[in-house]
Amino acid sequence: MPPNPQEARMINIREHFRAFLKDRNQRQTPERFTILEEIYKLNDHFDADELYIHLKGKGVNISRATVYNTLELLLASNLVVRHQFGQNQAKYEGAYRYRQHDHLICLDCNHVLEYCDPRIQAIQEMVAQILNFEITHHALHMYGHCKRENCEFRARKGLAGR
Amino acid sequence: MPPNPQEARMINIREHFRAFLKDRNQRQTPERFTILEEIYKLNDHFDADELYIHLKGKGVNISRATVYNTLELLLASNLVVRHQFGQNQAKYEGAYRYRQHDHLICLDCNHVLEYCDPRIQAIQEMVAQILNFEITHHALHMYGHCKRENCEFRARKGLAGR
DNA sequence: TTACTTGCAAATTATTTGCAATAAT
DNA sequence: ATTATTGCAAATAATTTGCAAGTAA
């Protein structure tokens, strides 16, 4: 039977990482592939420690140092992107065939939503020209309060699904 | 003789901070006013340690703890805003009569430029409605390479003012 | 076999906190 | 006189690094 689309995609992703490592003469260790696999299974935004704890929870024994080290490799190979939403830890997300998008961050529960608006690209190009700046990328973060039923905010304030 | 506009503005700013402190029953210490003064003299983006070093350089002896503590008060009184441009230190800027603006950050020399585009406000409102989110504020950072003569990038690469 | 990687613990960076001495009210 | 604030040093949080032991090529 043919592999399902999810697994076919994962095969491409692993192959991309394998090629990247080979190209840089870096070793294809089981730790690195385990981390890659878990990131794509998570399919969400996460921080380094969440990933470490998640692995521990599955009985996988990989040190924090290796998690951080592998995240650097995944960033360099464009299989992961890093975001700085707050003033604390960086958040990451899988980025295979990444389409530029921006983020809404709930200040109460840290829930992250994604959105995309073509006008941002237009603004970027205009600003670059006016200010004589070569822009490589941007980050547009919108902060506020989400309306999820189970948002911590509502829980704390006792506002029944306002 | 009448005070010049700069000094008149500074008087307003000090008065704003004084009122804020009195309102919260916090003390009007010389350290707090010295820090406020220096931030508005700097008239640029700075991080906590830069401010601390700057004060040291002027022979003012104020501890890092007090710098951080006072920055919190200035944030709470809306006389300063905080930005997170990179993954490291937070940057601050004086914000008296702050007009919303966004930032271009040079990845080579950390120089910061400001700009403003009304379309961002429109995007914010539209996204809030579509995703059912109450947005309190946003941060749009554009990263890239500036074209300043003395940008470290050019110095490093030996590109004479390309 | 070689030298890159790993795991652990110690180091580092940015920021915060505990506490005795000091000073604003 | 009270009690918030300061400076210092130690604590914390996130991340990085040094090094001996392990392992991919």
Say yes or no: B58 contacts chain A, CB-CB below 8 A: no
Q: Do A123 and B119 touch (CB under 8 A)?
A: yes
Distance (Å) from the alpha carbon of B3 to chain A's nearest alpha carbon: 35
Which of the nucleotides lies closest to B90 (Cα–C1')? C14
Q: Do A134 and B147 touch (CB under 8 A)?
A: yes
Which class does domain A1-97 fall in? mainly alpha
Name B residues 99-128 whose Cβ lies under 7 Å from strand C.
Answer: none
**Inter-residue contact B95 to B77 (CB < 8 Å):** no
CB neighbour list of residue B54: distance below 8 Å, 6 or more residues apart: B38, B42, B46
Taking CA atoms, what residue in B is nearest to A86?
B84
At A152 the pLDDT is: 63
CB neighbour list of residue A115: distance below 8 Å, 6 or more residues apart: A101, A102, A103, A104, B127, B130, B131
At B110 the pLDDT is: 85
Nucleotides of C under 7 A from a protein CB: 4-9, 13-18, 23-25
CB neighbour list of residue B114: distance below 8 Å, 6 or more residues apart: B101, B102, B103, B104
CB neighbour list of residue B66: distance below 8 Å, 6 or more residues apart: B31, B35
Domain boundaries, chain A: 1-97, 99-162
Q: What are phi and psi of B131, to 5 degrees?
A: -95, 5
At B35 the pLDDT is: 98
CA B151 to chain centre: 21
Round the average pLDDT of chain A to a whole number and report it. 90
Say yes or no: A160 contacts chain B, CB-CB below 8 A: no
Q: Do B143 and A136 touch (CB under 8 A)?
A: yes
Residues on chain A touching B133 (C-beta within 8 angstroms)? 104, 106, 113, 142, 144-147
For nucleotide C15, give the residue with the nearest CA to its C1'. B68
Distance (Å) from the alpha carbon of B69 to chain A's nearest alpha carbon: 16
CA distance B95 to B93: 6
Q: Is a pLDDT exceeding 50 seen at residue A100?
A: yes
Say yes or no: B86 contacts chain A, CB-CB below 8 A: yes
At B153 the pLDDT is: 53
Q: Is a pLDDT exceeding 80 seen at residue A79?
A: yes
CA distance A75 to A67: 12
Q: Are strands A91-94 and A46-47 parallel, antiparallel or unpaired?
A: antiparallel
Say yes or no: B65 contacts chain A, CB-CB below 8 A: no
Q: Is a pLDDT exceeding 90 seen at residue B139?
A: yes
pLDDT digits (tens, 9 = 90+) for A60-74: 999 999 999 999 999
At A159 the pLDDT is: 38
**Inter-residue contact A68 to A48 (CB < 8 Å):** yes
Q: What are phi and psi of B23, to 5 degrees?
A: -60, -35
Where are the strands (E) in B91-158, listed by range?
91-94, 102-106, 112-115, 133-146
Say yes or no: B87 contacts chain A, CB-CB below 8 A: yes
CA distance B60 to B83: 26
State the CB neighbour count (10 A cutoff) for residue A133: 23
At A158 the pLDDT is: 40
Distance (Å) from the alpha carbon of B104 to chain A's nearest alpha carbon: 8
Verdict on whether the full-model pTM lies above 0.85? yes
The percentage of chain A sitting over the pLDDT mark of 90, rounded to a whole number, equals: 77
pLDDT digits (tens, 9 = 90+) for B91-134: 999 999 788 899 999 988 888 999 999 999 999 999 999 999 99
Q: Is a pLDDT exceeding 90 seen at residue A156?
A: no
At A4 the pLDDT is: 86
Buried b or exposed e, range B22-42, using 16+ CB within 10 angstroms: eeeeeeeeebbebbbebbbee
pLDDT digits (tens, 9 = 90+) for B22-56: 999 999 999 999 999 999 999 999 999 999 999 99
Q: Is a pLDDT exceeding 90 seen at residue A1?
A: no
CATH 3.90.1150.10 for domain A99-162 = no
The percentage of chain B sitting over the pLDDT mark of 70, rounded to a whole number, equals: 92
